[in-house]
């Protein structure tokens, strides 16, 4: 089946009233879709709706797999215990040889995003320099925006990222980092700019208690990648469904929930900047 005819088939199903809640039946094993605690993991209702939509499109069940850490998702993916995962650009560049890009979300018109460093709005801190000897929250050690980029920035400024702050801790999720700063647990945090902007729309009361003190250059948006042994046909099919999501009203509604424009096909070179930063900070990993 060509992508076009498949899409036509699904569209027909949707038009026939089966819609997004079409339960995928049959003996086909479910597609295991791993997601990281970016900002979705507390939105089970949304995930179920997206899973139902994807099931209808793919003609097989879709199951979202959540784990507390990026690392766990990555491990499952590398061991082929997941078929697909939405991971950060940083782990992708670390395992680029084994993982295949399926699609990259487009945010504000391009498949790019920024890393933000935020501080409490009432702390008076306006630069990363002022965060010296303060409490700082990382999102996840495998996050580009929540770990790699601020460390790269500090290194570039001649600071030791392990000693610059008085104390650091991991929140294991970008929304939690925003919350930690908003509630005063940390003086500053490194977060995904997309997550912060989306929270600013969804929960402005929380983001209003934080202030963005540093915006990174644009990086490749955290991509959706396939497991090493996922068959090519599946990859093509997945890519087609995701990229075509904007053409479906339900799909568009789901994308709006995600605050995304859609999914696009991208080349690995999109993540070269991240790879360069990773190489510079951890030369041994990429030797």
Partner 1 sequence: MNLAWSSYRVRLPLSLSVSAITTALCLALAIGLQTLANLREDQGRNALSLGHAMAAVQVQALRNEDVWLAYSLLRGPEGGAGDAVWILVDAAGRLFASNRPREYRLDQPLSEALPWLPEPGAIGPEETPGRIVPVDQASVRRVLRLPLDSDGTQVGELIALLSDAPYLPRFEEIVVGGILVTAGVLTIWLPLGWLWGRRMVAPLVQLTGCMSRIGKEEARQLHCTVPGGDSEIGQLGRQFSAMLAALAEQEALERQMIQAERLAAVGRVAAGVAHEVNNPLGGMRMAIDTYRLAQPLDARTARLLDLLDRALQQIQGAVSALLVEARADTRTLTHQDLEDVRTLAQPRLARSSVPLTWHNVFDAPTSLPAAPVRQLLLNLLLNAIQAACEGGAVAVTCATEENVLRIQIENSGQPIPPEQLAHLFEPYPASRPHAQGLGLWVCYQIASQLGGAIGVETEEGITRFQVTLPLAGGGAR
Distance CA 108, CA 131 (A): 29
Task: Check binding of 10 to partner 1 (CB under 8 A).
Answer: no
Residue with tokens 């994308």: 255
Interaction mask 106-145, partner 1, x per CB under 8 A: -----------------------------x-x--------
Q: How far apart are CA 157 and CA 274, in angstroms?
A: 18
> Closest separation between CB of residue 180 and partner 1, Å?
7
What are the Cα distances from residue 65, in Å, to 56, 102, 203, 246?
18, 17, 25, 24
Residues 163 to 192: which contact partner 1 by CB under 8 A?
A: 166-167, 169-172, 176, 180, 183-185
CA distance 12 to 125: 56
> 11: how many CB neighbours lie within 10 A of its CB?
14
> Which of residues 95 and 170 has its CB atom nearest to partner 1 in the complex?
170
Site string for partner 1, 218-257 (x = CB under 8 A): ----------------------------------------
Which residue in the block uniquely carries the two structure tokens 């030791």?
Answer: 160
Stretch near partner 1 under the rule CB under 8 A, chosen from 14-22, 162-170, 219-227, 273-281: 162-170
Q: How far is CA 13 from the centre of its chain?
A: 30
Closer by beta carbon to partner 1, 96 or else 132: 132
Are the C-beta atoms of 222 and 191 separated by less than 8 Å? no
CB of 154 to partner 1, least distance (A): 20
Binding site for partner 1 (CB under 8 A): 135, 137, 166-167, 169-172, 176, 180, 183-185
């Amino acid at each position: 089946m060509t992508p076009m005819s498949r899409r036509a088939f699904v569209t027909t199903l949707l038009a026939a009233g089966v819609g997004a809640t079409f339960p995928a039946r049959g003996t086909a094993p479910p597609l295991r879709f791993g997601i990281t605690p970016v900002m979705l993991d507390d939105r089970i209702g949304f995930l179920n709706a997206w899973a139902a939509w994807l099931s209808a499109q793919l003609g097989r069940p879709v199951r979202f797999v959540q784990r507390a850490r990026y690392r766990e998702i990555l491990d499952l993916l590398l061991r082929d215990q997941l078929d697909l995962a939405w991971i950060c650009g940083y782990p992708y560049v670390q395992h680029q040889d084994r993982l295949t890009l399926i699609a990259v979300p487009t945010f504000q018109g391009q498949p790019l995003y920024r890393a933000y460093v935020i501080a409490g709005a009432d702390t008076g801190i306006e630069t990363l320099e002022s965060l010296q000897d303060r409490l700082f929250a990382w999102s996840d050690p495998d996050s580009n925006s929540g770990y790699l980029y601020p460390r790269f920035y500090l290194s570039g400024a001649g600071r030791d990222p392990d000693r610059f702050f008085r104390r650091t801790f991991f929140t294991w999720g970008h929304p939690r980092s925003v919350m930690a700063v908003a509630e005063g647990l940390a003086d500053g945090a490194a977060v995904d700019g997309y997550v912060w902007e989306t929270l600013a729309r969804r929960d402005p009361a929380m983001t209003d208690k934080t202030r963005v003190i540093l915006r990174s250059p644009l990086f490749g948006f955290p991509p959706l990648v396939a497991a090493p042994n996922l068959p090519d046909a599946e990859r093509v099919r997945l890519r087609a469904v995701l990229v075509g999501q904007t053409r479906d009203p339900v799909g568009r509604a789901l994308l709006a929930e995600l605050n995304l424009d859609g999914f696009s096909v991208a080349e690995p070179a999109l993540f070269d900047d991240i790879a360069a930063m990773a190489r510079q900070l951890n030369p041994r990993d990429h030797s």
